[in-house]
Amino acid sequence: MSVFDLGYMVGLVPVLLKYVPLTLGMASVSMALALVLACLLAVVRVVRVPVLNQFTKLFISFFRGTPLLVQLFLFYYGLPQLFPSLTAMTGVTAAIIGLTLHFSAYMAESIRAAIIGVDRSQWEAAQSIGMTTAQMMRRIILPQAARVAAPTLVNYFIDLIKSTSLAFTLGVTELMGAAQKEAASSFLYFETFIVVAIFYWVIVEVLSFVQQALEARLSKAVAR
Amino acid sequence: MIKIRGLRKFYGGVPVLDGIDLDIEAGQHVVIIGPSGTGKSTLLRCINFLDHADEGTISIGSLSVDVSTATPKQIKALRLATSFIFQNYALFANKTARANIAEGLMVVRGWSKAEANKRADDLLQMIGLGDKGDAYPVSLSGGQQQRVGIGRAIAADTQLMLIDEPTSALDPEWVDEVLQLLKRIADENRTMLVVTHEMSFARQIADKVVFMEGGKIVEQGPPEQMFTSPVDPRTRHFLRKTLGTM
């Protein structure tokens, strides 16, 4: 008796492939939003904007201090109880909001560290020519901080891609959700989850190539 | 005309600038000399508001700012009226030589990109780096970086150039090219306030020499008088040590 159904695994590839765009879509949108939010949070922390700075500290503390799954449940199942209009929120939207907030908290701290690492002379040169804080951040400081933060941020993106699998707990049929359904009907759990693991693995490996290219590009200004 | 009156700055209760009064005429080159740690660089930084002085007024042309009540708008106006040449060049590491010069013109002064780049290319030509427009600071020598720093400072034709020990971070081989360039632009009738330890350079470009010690201006006068017959014993002592004469 065969304990390992290779034919089933091969057949599963095209089925699961259809769900890759949703997984990548959720991950990309969350990452883009999280990056913007994380930059804002980091700048608020570095420039010590009154009031906002305290709020930001609390925000980061909460989203780093509680499990992502708890946050997702809180958004999807909890909030509509308080605000009935949120019942219309789809699982995908809730997952994107949850992933964005969760990862922005982590990324804000990496970006903050990278901003602080930019040499003081760069700040002073920007100030001396009359740039506003926003101009200085956007044009001089953040681009230099990005080079330092890039490897860490790609790591968070990798983590984020894999974390989209939690969306299946909100009823979203993404890669993991689809695999779960396939396994439940075929009872071939090992084969199904090996295939889905390989899917995530391949996606992350492709991303690692992109990471190398990105780092090379950002290092242009420091390469002799 | 630039007027500084009663400028004071304290670090933890200790005065670093202790009542500075200084006049600079348009087109004049004022050189500040004095021992290390006497507030020379701090004075320059306070005029550009990189450091905030605690008391006093700074007037440049029609702009007059009381430093203790300076608004962000006034600080920006002072920064637009001045330009700064840093000891460590402080070129924007993520910008090419051309962009380093064009950046302020474009972003702060509202020039179009084409105008700003044209100005930057003209200046690069002038400072002898016409072929380095696309080079990032890291690929330039110290001397080249400081020349770009000078190009950035003259790009906008400000009313006062603040020049802070422009050669003290340079390897000896690059000092001369930077001093030559500074002498050339000094001849262009620009108003300059220079802190330097290069006494022969000071002598060549200065219209007025200011000797500072302990956060105060001890003595000031034309270079021929200051370098040959200073009145104050502290000035004499300092010059004897630095020049080995008198």
Dump the DSSP string for B80-96.
Answer: HHEEEE-TT----TTS-
Burial of B33 (0-12, 13-18, 19+ CB in 10 A): buried
User: Average pLDDT for residues B209-233, to the nearest whole number?
Assistant: 94
The position carrying tokens 């699982």 is: A91
Residue of B nearest to A144 (CA): B94
pLDDT in tens, B21-48: 999 999 999 999 999 999 999 999 999 9
Q: How far apart are CA A50 and CA B44, in angstroms?
A: 30
Complex-level ipTM: 0.92
User: Average pLDDT for residues B128-140, to the nearest whole number?
Assistant: 95
User: Average pLDDT for residues A186-214, to the nearest whole number?
Assistant: 92
CATH number of the domain where residue A156 is located: 1.10.3720.10
- In this structure, is residue A188 part of a structural domain? yes
- In this structure, is residue A75 part of a structural domain? yes
pLDDT in tens, A123-167: 999 999 999 999 999 999 999 998 889 889 999 999 999 999 999
Question: Which of A124, A130, A224 shows the shortest C-beta gap to B76?
Answer: A130
B193, B41 Cβ separation under 8 angstroms: no
What pLDDT sits at residue B43? 97
Inform me whether the C-beta atom of residue A1 falls under 8 Å from chain B C-beta atoms: no
What pLDDT sits at residue A218? 74
Residue of A nearest to B139 (CA): A224
pLDDT at A211 over 70: yes
pLDDT band (50, 70, 90) for residue A1: very low
The packing angle between helices A52-65 and A91-117, to 10°, is 120
What pLDDT sits at residue B245? 61
Whether A223 and B138 lie within 8 Å, measured CB to CB: yes
B187, B231 Cβ separation under 8 angstroms: no
- In angstroms, the first-to-last Cα distance of chain B is 34
Average confidence score pLDDT of chain A: 92
Q: Of B15-24, B88-97, B154-163, B167-176, which gets the smallest average pLDDT?
A: B167-176
B133, B96 Cβ separation under 8 angstroms: yes
Chain A interface test: which of B46, B107, B113 (most A C-beta within 10 Å) = B107
Whether B50 and A128 lie within 8 Å, measured CB to CB: yes
User: Average pLDDT for residues B195-222, to the nearest whole number?
Assistant: 94
Whether B90 and A224 lie within 8 Å, measured CB to CB: no
- Amino acid letter for position B23: D
What pLDDT sits at residue B242? 87
What pLDDT sits at residue A214? 80
Inform me whether the C-beta atom of residue A221 falls under 8 Å from chain B C-beta atoms: yes
CA dihedral (A164, A167, A169, A173) positive or negative: negative
- In this structure, is residue A149 part of a structural domain? yes
pLDDT at A219 over 80: no
A220, A40 Cβ separation under 8 angstroms: no
pLDDT band (50, 70, 90) for residue B246: low
CA dihedral (B91, B160, B111, A115) positive or negative: positive
The three-class DSSP label of residue A145 is helix
Inform me whether the C-beta atom of residue B138 falls under 8 Å from chain A C-beta atoms: yes
pLDDT at A72 over 90: yes
Q: How far apart are CA A25 and CA B10, in angstroms?
A: 56
Whether A140 and B152 lie within 8 Å, measured CB to CB: no
Whether A122 and B83 lie within 8 Å, measured CB to CB: no
Inform me whether the C-beta atom of residue B14 falls under 8 Å from chain A C-beta atoms: no
Question: What is the span of the domain harbouring residue A196?
Answer: 6-223
Q: Where are the alpha helices (DSSP H) in chain A?
A: 6-17, 20-47, 52-65, 68-73, 79-82, 91-117, 120-128, 133-136, 142-163, 175-186, 189-218
User: Average pLDDT for residues A74-80, to the nearest whole number?
Assistant: 93
Chain B residues in contact with A121 by the CB 8 A cut-off are 86, 88, 90
Inform me whether the C-beta atom of residue B88 falls under 8 Å from chain A C-beta atoms: yes
Question: Which of B82, B91, B107 shows the shortest C-beta gap to A135?
Answer: B107
pLDDT at A224 over 50: no
- In this structure, is residue A71 part of a structural domain? yes
- In this structure, is residue A168 part of a structural domain? yes
Residue of A nearest to B157 (CA): A129
Chain A residues in contact with B145 by the CB 8 A cut-off are none
What pLDDT sits at residue A221? 65
> A131 phi and psi, to 5 degrees?
-65, 145
What pLDDT sits at residue A223? 55
- In this structure, is residue A163 part of a structural domain? yes
DSSP string, chain B: -EEEEEEEEEETTEEEEEEEEEEE-TT-EEEEE--TTSSHHHHHHHHTTSS--SEEEEEETTEEEEGGG--HHHHHHHHHHEEEE-TT----TTS-HHHHHHHIIIIIT---HHHHHHHHHHHHHHTT-TT-TT--GGGS-HHHHHHHHHHHHHTT--SEEEEE-TTTTS-HHHHHHHHHHHHHHHTTT--EEEE-S-HHHHHHH-SEEEEEETTEEEEEE-HHHHHH--SSHHHHHHHHHHHS--
Q: What total number of domains does chain A contain? A: 1
User: A155: which DSSP letter?
Assistant: H
Chain B residues in contact with A143 by the CB 8 A cut-off are 94
Q: How far is CA A163 from CA A88, A170, A200, in A?
A: 23, 13, 10
User: A187: which DSSP letter?
Assistant: -
Nearest chain B CA: its distance from A123 CA (Å): 9
Nearest chain B CA: its distance from A118 CA (Å): 10
Question: Which of A121, A129, A224 shows the shortest C-beta gap to B138?
Answer: A224
- In this structure, is residue A1 part of a structural domain? no
